[in-house]
Amino acid sequence: MVAKVLAINENTIIAAGLENSHVGNLVRIGKDKIFGEIVSVSGKETSIQAYEDTNGIRINDEMEDLNEPLSIELGPGLLTNIFDGLGRRLSALNSNFIARGATLISLDRQKKWSFKALKKKDDTVESGDVLGEVKETALITTKILVPPGIRGKIIDISSGEFTVNQNIAELKDPEGNSFKLNMIQKWPVRMPRPFRSKLNLHDPLLTGQRVFDTLFPIAKGGTVALPGGFGVGKTFLEHAFAKFSNTDISIYVGCGERGNEMAEVLNSFPSVLDPHSGKSIMNKMVLIANTSNMPIIAREASIFTGITIAEFYRDMGYSVLLTADSTSRWAEALRELGSEMGEMPVEEGFPSSLFSSLAAFYSRAGVVDTLGTDKKSGSVTIIGAISPPGGDFSEPVTQTTARLADSYIELDSKLAGERHYPPVNWTNSYSPLSGEIQQFYKKNIGPDFFTYVKRLLDLLHESDKINEIASIVGREALPDKQAAILRLSDIAKLFFLQQNAFDEEDAYTPIEITYKMMNILTSFIDKITSMIDSGAKYSDIKSNPIWERMSDLKHATALDKLEKDVNALGMGKTK
């Protein structure tokens, strides 16, 4: 029996004749062959969510069950490219507007890759073992792995020039089945890719953003909730993470966001150089663009398309950062879908499955031992931006994500209003670190790293309290010590915490320099407070030129001189 459309209501289509299909399968509908996904089967009626606009679909239109779930093609050719939420390579569409029913092809079929075999005939291999490699970009060598679920003896393998769909090897398993392998692995996006085991987080993810690398450090394999109202510079911050983090691969998912923002990324990223290699960062990037006016189920899928690509590179032993902007738009897609499906709404109309849906995404982060006999370990870190309605952090998406994520970093509109970027709220944010990472910092960066961090946080919290008083009595009326602390905290904010994304030198700070800055800053704080404690008057020390000189903190080349001067402070005259 041919499957046919029974009913249409916005993006939901009810079909007859699909009662034996699998939930999750893709279907193509009508003469335009638009894509949809089976979401439920009940009696003779099957519910389908269309990935594309349903205008023009007719009752009794025929539909075809593709008999597979939404999958993406993994293989060489992902890096440097931009895909939509369904994994279509946008440069291959050859059109200014996205037409309906365009086929789901991710990888370029024409391009030849130079495949170098690393295994030879008669070798026995398991899932996850490296068969060979391809130089995918100037920065990344893509390893061609034995796909999950396949093992056996190599009966044929050869180096040479191949397109992604040409066979590069043939395997025969102990049962006698043979497998011809090419460089494509097609993988259902909603299914996590397998690994051997999850490990503890043991490596820091250095972002080059000082407030993160010190006060709120992130771990490779960790998850970060990043809520902020509109206009707080969230996007700039995420771009900075995507550009400068010390991960091998960076995946940026624009989920339900502005089209012009993606244009900005596509225009500006190619000329940004990776601070670790000096090559264009596009060499390590994959972009997923689902703009806010694309159909919502495609938006829902975009996050999973992104994380599947992340896992693919993780399985080669790479560290991957996935930045998702914004998970609120994704959750809203869930809400719209839930409402179309008649699901019972709970808090603010979100479906009761919100927690499990977010968990299905965030739990795909982590550090893993990969499959295969050749011991590789890779990681996926997730930074999920959240756009709380009205900037209200008590809303369900922010709160649910906070429960799931390792770190919670709140972007504050008040700080942003004061042009304090990145506007990280130091009171409400937290980012606990495992013992292993603390050890890493102490061993590789500086033994007193966390002492400095604590000193800074204490100063900030103290100055917040004093500011409350100052707003009533005025700064002039404060006692000496409090006045000094306010000024010290101003310095810490202006020249250490604030970072200008537009300034070439300031946009990225290597951790060694950050450490040095923090060292100078905290010894300056200590000097001044101890001078006041031992009886010096603030009015006497406040015009010391050293205060002005602290702006040199931002100039790496001036740090040595500044350090000397700060250390000399209080040694002779104090005025």
Partner 1 sequence: METYKTITKIKDPLITVTGVENAMNGDMCIINSGGTEMLGEIITAYGQDAVVEAFRPLRGLSRSKLQVTCTGEIFSIGVTEHILGRAFDGLGRVTDGGKLVPEKKTIVYGSPINPYVRDKPKDFIETGISGIDCLNSLVMGQKLPIFSGSGLPGSDIAIEIVKNAKTRKDTKFAVLFGAMGVKDSEANKFTDLLDGKNGDRTAVFINRASDSIIERITLPKIIMTHAEYLAFERGYDVLVVLTDMLSYADALRQLSSERKQVPGRRGYSSSLYTDLATIYERCGKIKDLKGSITLIPIVTMPSDDITHPVPDLTGYITEGQILLSRDLFNRKIFPPIDVLGSLSRLMDNGIGKNFTREDHRQVANQLYFAFSKGMDARNLSALIGENGLSDDDKIYLKFLDDFENKFIRQQPGEPRSIEETLDLAWTIMKDLQSLPRIEKNIIEKYGKK
Interface ranges with partner 1 (CB under 8 A): 6-10, 14, 53-61, 82, 84, 90-91, 93, 95-100, 230-231, 254, 256, 258-260, 262-264, 266-267, 289, 291-294, 296, 329, 332, 335-336, 339, 345, 348-349, 387, 389-392, 417, 474
Q: Minimum CB separation from partner 1 for residue 328, in Å?
A: 9
Smaller CB separation from partner 1, 240 or 532: 240
Q: Minimum CB separation from partner 1 for residue 123, in Å?
A: 41
- Bond prior to 326 in cis (omega within 30° of 0): yes
Compute the distance between CA of residue 239 and CA of residue 242 in angstroms, rounded to an integer.
5
Q: Minimum CB separation from partner 1 for residue 167, in Å?
A: 31
Q: How many CB atoms lie within 10 A of CB 256?
A: 27
Burial state string for 90-117 with b = 16 or more CB within 10 A and e = fewer than 16: beeeeeeebebebebebbbeeeebebeb
Smaller CB separation from partner 1, 133 or 395: 395
Token readout for 421 is 């970027």
Alpha-carbon dihedral sign for residues 161, 71, 404, 234: positive
Q: Minimum CB separation from partner 1 for residue 557, in Å?
A: 22
Q: Which helix (H) or strand (E) holds 291?
A: strand 285-291
- Tell me which residue of 399, 398, 500, 453 sits closest to 212, measured CA to CA: 453
Compute the distance between CA of residue 39 and CA of residue 421 in angstroms, rounded to an integer.
43
Smaller CB separation from partner 1, 264 or 560: 264
- Tell me which residue of 318, 312, 255 sits closest to 288, measured CA to CA: 255
Give the angle subtended at the CA of 14 by the CAs of 12 and 17, to the nearest 5°: 145
Smaller CB separation from partner 1, 150 or 266: 266
Compute the distance between CA of residue 518 and CA of residue 226 in angstroms, rounded to an integer.
24
Q: Minimum CB separation from partner 1 for residue 483, in Å?
A: 17
Name 381's bridge partners: 321
Size of the chain in residues: 575
Where would I find the beta strands (DSSP E) of 160-209?
160-162, 169-172, 178-181, 185-188, 197-199, 204-205
Q: Are 214 and 518 in contact (CB under 8 A)?
A: yes
Q: Minimum CB separation from partner 1 for residue 289, in Å?
A: 4
Smaller CB separation from partner 1, 231 or 432: 231
Smaller CB separation from partner 1, 81 or 522: 81
Smaller CB separation from partner 1, 82 or 553: 82
Smaller CB separation from partner 1, 53 or 563: 53
Smaller CB separation from partner 1, 335 or 554: 335
Q: Minimum CB separation from partner 1 for residue 370, in Å?
A: 32
Q: Are 566 and 527 in contact (CB under 8 A)?
A: yes
Q: Minimum CB separation from partner 1 for residue 408, in Å?
A: 21
Q: Minimum CB separation from partner 1 for residue 59, in Å?
A: 5
Smaller CB separation from partner 1, 6 or 559: 6
Q: Minimum CB separation from partner 1 for residue 444, in Å?
A: 38
Radius of gyration of the chain (CA): 27
- Tell me which residue of 239, 195, 240, 243 sits closest to 221, measured CA to CA: 195
Q: Are 140 and 249 in contact (CB under 8 A)?
A: yes
DSSP per-residue letters across 312-323: HHHTTT-EEEEE
